[in-house]
């Protein structure tokens, strides 16, 4: 069985024509062979959406949440609605074809296709996860960087697509390089009017006493799939959970801070803007053990 699996969808959206009238709904292709046209708007404009789905022991985690977020991103970009039944089937087929392993992940991508063609391009890529055991146990140092938008940008300027999971990731990569220049590992974005948002590839979760909190998706940030599961786990322990508008100064007073995401899972913030922070190693380890074992 292969270590990498690539599945191409013939008709990613029922609202657009298929790429071939005689082809099946999807087909397996060689992941090592180029498949994307250089004229595809994914390559020329970054015009498309994606999701990263964690796979634990052969099961996709937060599966339906990811699919619904995929559809919501498509709507925000005025893309044809993804046919979620076909995507679901293709994802499960990719997982079944992948070489068994403890942790893997899926990337689903849908682009606007070749300009003027009217047919979106869609694929599912499956592979084994990198080893995140060190960062999960040791945590990350973080710097806070201005995102350049107000916290209410999703309401005032929806055309900026804040809160959609798009392929336009140049800024998300750039801020990590800036973090490294500052001697840190990762970033938490702050709005131009001074509120905590999210990481470039993660959701911020923090603890205050017996309550876990997060900034809300109304701030033009992603609706965190892993954050939702973290809250499920916290509530099973009797902890309270909630959404809060918070400033960096208030975040610095939290009892614990984590960056959570679908593939890396939960990593503790060990330093914030150069100031060392307390870390509850046992709490973090228990949380990651639960996330790794999470059924779909």
Does the structural domain 134-292 have CATH classification 3.40.50.1100? no
Does the structural domain 4-129 have CATH classification 3.30.470.10? yes
Q: What is the mean pLDDT of the chain?
A: 95
Q: Which residues pair with 196 in a beta bridge?
A: 190
List where CATH 3.20.10.10 sits in the chain. 134-292
Write the pLDDT tens digit of every residue in 244-296.
999 999 999 999 999 999 999 999 999 999 999 999 999 999 999 999 887 54
Token duo for residue 207: 């603890």
Q: What is the pLDDT of residue 274?
A: 97
Percent of the chain whose predicted confidence (pLDDT) is above 90: 94
Q: What is the pLDDT of residue 102?
A: 85
List where CATH 3.30.470.10 sits in the chain. 4-129
3-state secondary structure labels for all residues of the chain: CCCEEEEEECCCCCCCCCCCCCCCCEEEECCCCCCCCCCEHHHHHCCEEEEEEEEECCEECCHHHHHHHHHHHHHHCCCCCCCHHHHHHHHHHHHHHCCCCCEEEEEEEEECCECCCCCCEEEEEEEECCCCHHHHHHCEEEEEEECCCCCCHHHHCHHHCCCCCECCCHHHHHHHHHHHHCCCCEEEEECCCCCECCECCEEEEEEECCEEEECCHHHCCCCCHHHHHHHHHHHHCCCEEEECCCCHHHHCCCCEEEEEECCCEEEEEEEECCEECCCCHHHHHHHHHHHHCCCC
Write the pLDDT tens digit of every residue in 106-155.
999 999 999 999 999 999 999 999 999 999 999 999 999 999 999 999 99
The answer to whether the beta carbons of residues 221 and 203 sit under 8 Å apart is yes
Residues in the chain: 296
Q: Is the pLDDT of residue 11 over 60?
A: yes
Q: What is the pLDDT of residue 295?
A: 57
Percent of the chain whose predicted confidence (pLDDT) is above 70: 99
Write the pLDDT tens digit of every residue in 147-200.
999 999 999 999 999 999 999 999 999 999 999 999 999 999 999 999 999 999
Q: Is the pLDDT of residue 56 over 60?
A: yes
Q: What is the pLDDT of residue 135?
A: 96
């Amino acid at each position: 069985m292969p270590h990498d699996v690539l599945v191409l969808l013939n008709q990613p959206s029922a609202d657009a024509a298929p790429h071939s009238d005689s082809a099946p709904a999807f087909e397996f292709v060689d992941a090592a062979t180029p498949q994307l046209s250089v004229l595809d708007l994914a390559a020329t404009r970054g015009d498309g959406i994606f999701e990263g789905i964690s796979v634990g022991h052969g099961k996709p985690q937060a599966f339906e949440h990811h699919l619904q977020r995929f559809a919501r991103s498509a709507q925000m970009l005025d893309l044809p609605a993804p046919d979620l039944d076909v995507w679901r089937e293709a994802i499960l087929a990719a997982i079944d074809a992948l070489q068994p392993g403890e942790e893997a992940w899926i990337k689903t991508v849908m682009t606007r296709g070749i300009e003027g063609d009217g047919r979106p391009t869609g694929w599912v890529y499956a592979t084994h996860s990198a080893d995140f055991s060190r960062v999960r146990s040791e945590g990350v140092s973080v710097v806070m960087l201005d995102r350049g938008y107000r916290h209410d940008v999703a309401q005032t300027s929806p055309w900026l697509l804040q809160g959609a999971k798009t392929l336009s990731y140049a800024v998300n990569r750039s801020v990590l390089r800036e973090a490294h220049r500052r001697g840190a590992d990762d970033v938490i974005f702050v709005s131009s009017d001074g509120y905590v948002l999210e990481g470039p590839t993660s959701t911020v979760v923090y603890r205050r006493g017996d309550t876990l909190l997060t900034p809300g998706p109304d701030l033009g940030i992603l609706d965190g799939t892993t954050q939702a599961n973290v809250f499920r786990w916290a509530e099973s322990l009797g902890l309270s959970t909630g959404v809060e508008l918070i400033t960096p100064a208030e975040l610095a007073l939290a009892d614990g801070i984590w960056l959570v995401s679908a593939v890396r899972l939960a990593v503790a913030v060990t330093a914030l803007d150069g100031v060392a922070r307390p870390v509850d190693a046992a709490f973090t380890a228990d949380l990651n053990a639960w996330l790794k074992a999470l059924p779909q």
